[in-house]
Structure 1
Amino acid sequence: MPAEEKTEDPTPKRRKEAREEGQVAQSQELSMAFTLLFSFIMLFFLMDNILYESMQFMDKYFTDYMTMTLNNQTFHTLLLEIAKFIFQLVSPIMFVVALVGVVVGLLQTGFLFTPTSLQPDPSKLNPVSGFKQIFSKQTAAEFLKSILKISIVGIIAYFTIKGNLPKLITLSKVGVHQVVALIGNIVYSLAIKISLILILLGIIDFIYQKWEHEQQLKMTKQEVKEEKKQTDGNPEIKKRQKEKQQEMAMNRMMESVPEADVVITNPTHIAIAIKFDIDSMEAPIVVAKGKGEVAQKIKDKAEECGIEIVEEKPLARALYAQVEIDQEIPMELYQAVAEVLAYVYQVNEERRY
């Protein structure tokens, strides 16, 4: 049987679960392009300082370190000085690169912490699935992106070098500082152009990743139905629960019928059981009511318990429409109900004699 096509948009629950598992749309190309751009921008502003610090360190190296006696202690000191020097040079760039990477990541995905994605997945060690991934659509797309990036970088490098070729030819006739400055400018110009192009490609890649992620999250009609069942509850179970609740309410109501003083009927369609205790109640209350089969059960229970049944069609309809179970009757029906109760009390009094 062919698999059902995924045509439905992902539900909020599906999106939330995917996000909790770390499945979000993001472009590594965009992050790399921005970090590359800001790396070269930082180099541009720090280059003079880097060159100055490097010259100072080299001067100190040749004047101090080269003349010292090499042993374990001096060798350890020398290593620490070199490490400290390198850290001082690269730490500003590393900080900016890390900050840019975090910011670009947050702009793409928002704050995301997914411990489940850090857990080992044995299925990733499966050689069959790994082989399938090598020839997957995603792998093919990544390969094409790599070819495109290499081609674009090559074209930009070619035209940049070609445009500066006359200057490069004259390098043998100028001093070292001019050579360094010219090559530095060419490299910086090339790096900025490549970074901007990679950012453009990264934006396109991010749009593609968003689309691809949306396609992966799509659901079949059956999956949507199953999720709705899980969220709202199985309709069949809810129906059985409702029926059970109605049955329990019916049983409680029928248990109250023997406490009634009178049952007012329509006479066949409606039955209202009324109770009144002059010592504890301000007004009569309805202890049971029903239509059809329920009305018949109320009347049968009343006959079984010897409760008077009185036919009053307008009053029965009014009580059924206006009064809920365990509620007092409204003031406008006091007179009619009082007359019925008076009649019932009189009949019960006569029966005693």
Structure 2
Amino acid sequence: MEQREEKGQEDKTEEATEEKRNQFREEGNIANPREIVACVTLILFTSYFYFSSQNLILAFQECFRRAWFGFPGYYVDYSSLLKVIFYAISPILPHFIFIVLACSVFPTFIGLAVTRFNWSWKKLNFNIGKLDPISGFARMFSVNSFVEMIKVVTKCLIFSILIFIVLKSEIFSASENYFYNNLDYMKNIGNSISKLMLVMCAAGVVIGGGDFSYNFWKINRDMKMTKQELKEEVKKHEGDPLLKSQRKRMARDFVMRKSLREVPKASFVVTNPEHFSVAIRYKKGMTAPVIIAKGQDLIAFKIREIAKQHDIMIVENKPLARTLYKTVKVGQEIPPVLYQSVIEVIKYIHKIRGRKYFERFEA
């Protein structure tokens, strides 16, 4: 089964489309920022511990003082127990509340921001298939499980080595703490803890960034599509290429048939006798001749037929007819580059039919 998965992954050579990316996000398959969240939590806790250590020590001292020297006029029984407890811990309570909020709420928002506030309930849906012991056993020994185990072991090993290095440097000075008073002893312990936590924060940044980068790469790899999947998605959105070309041709023919009604207004028709016909309108005062109808094959024949019925001059000019058909749309003026060719056609009509031919179009 693993070989088939690897073979299928090798076939995925195309970048994921926007629809495939949205599908992954809706299913909750995104780069998990859990290590980044854990790192931010550790940094916040360490920062608060480092900058508020003096206030924390004073708060603990007050808690101990209240515990040892009694309470202000409380008779301790079941009814006053909560008041007694609150009185004892109230000095440290603001610090505790701030740490809980800062180390839970803020990192959560950081994680949501990294994932662009993606939230999917599909991951929480009950799936009875997950209770299948055979599939569960297969997942346990899959490549993904093995990679996750390697990641956990590597992180534990890195942190263990760092803790050993820091504590090894601190343990030689630990015996001197015996000669310090309680306050200085606590300060030395606090400095050692701060040093250890700062080192762990630095390691957390590296591990968090590396883990998120790996997850991001893995999600992008899993999102890749095979050539067949890409073709099917394009076909789904744009339709079968053959049907699409047929629809375009039908739409083009519809426009051209609609333009046949404008042929009687044409001043002359330029043709490539067997394939193309272009009906052109021109009268005195116009800035340039305008194409009012054009067609190919059957439509070209219909244009010529209508032109004959309305005594409209038909001029054979193969290069001009082909160029006008392919480069100028119906309703557009003839471009300046073709003025000379069209003027030659108009001169020819003047020579054959005279000035009166064009006078009837000026009415």
| TM range, smaller chain | 0.7 to 0.9
Alignment correspondent of 1:246: 252
Alignment correspondent of 1:321: 324
Alignment correspondent of 1:217: 223
**Structure 1 residues 31-82: Cα deviation after superposition (integer angstroms, max 9, x where no partner):** 3134213312321221221121222233344545375123565334335545
Q: Distance in 1 between matches of 2:42 and 2:287?
A: 85
Q: Distance in 1 between matches of 2:282 and 2:172?
A: 113
Residues 308/132 of structure 1: CA separation in 2 closer, same or farther (3 Å cut): same
Q: Distance in 1 between matches of 2:301 and 2:229?
A: 46
After superposition, the CA RMSD in angstroms is 4.4
Q: Distance in 2 between matches of 1:267 and 1:171?
A: 106
What is the aligned-residue identity percentage? Answer: 22
What amino acid is aligned across from residue 151 of structure 1 in structure 2?
Answer: L
Residues 201/146 of structure 1: CA separation in 2 closer, same or farther (3 Å cut): same
Q: Distance in 2 between matches of 1:165 and 1:267?
A: 100
**Structure 1 residues 281-305: Cα deviation after superposition (integer angstroms, max 9, x where no partner):** 99997654445443333344566xx
How do 1:105-184 and structure 2 match up within 5 A?
Answer: 105=111, 109=114, 112-117=116-121, 120-123=124-127, 126-128=130-132, 130-184=136-190
Unaligned runs of 5+ in 1: 346-353
- Of 136-145 and 212-221, deviating more is 136-145
Q: Establish whether residue 93 from structure 1 lines up as the match of residue 99 from structure 2.
A: yes
Alignment correspondent of 2:302: 297
Q: Distance in 2 between matches of 1:125 and 1:195?
A: 40
**Structure 1 residues 294-336: Cα deviation after superposition (integer angstroms, max 9, x where no partner):** 3333344566xx4447554359957983986567898946665
**Structure 1 residues 206-233: Cα deviation after superposition (integer angstroms, max 9, x where no partner):** 3322322221121111122223334544
What amino acid is aligned across from residue 273 of structure 2 in structure 1?
Answer: T
| Contact kept? 1:264, 1:316, Cα under 8 Å | no
| Contact kept? 1:263, 1:307, Cα under 8 Å | no
| Contact kept? 1:263, 1:308, Cα under 8 Å | no
Give 1 or 2 for the bigger CA radius of gyration: 1
TM-score computed with the length of structure 2 as normaliser: 0.71
Q: Distance in 2 between matches of 1:260 and 1:251?
A: 15
Residues 311/223 of structure 1: CA separation in 2 closer, same or farther (3 Å cut): closer
Q: Establish whether residue 11 from structure 1 lines up as the match of residue 14 from structure 2.
A: no
Residues 319/214 of structure 1: CA separation in 2 closer, same or farther (3 Å cut): closer
What amino acid is aligned across from residue 50 of structure 1 in structure 2?
Answer: L
**Structure 1 residues 134-166: Cα deviation after superposition (integer angstroms, max 9, x where no partner):** 333332222222222333333333343343334
Residues 130/298 of structure 1: CA separation in 2 closer, same or farther (3 Å cut): same
Unaligned runs of 5+ in 2: 359-363
Residues 99/69 of structure 1: CA separation in 2 closer, same or farther (3 Å cut): closer
- The count of residues paired between Structure 1 and Structure 2 equals 339
TM-score computed with the length of structure 1 as normaliser: 0.73
SS of match in other structure, 2:75: coil
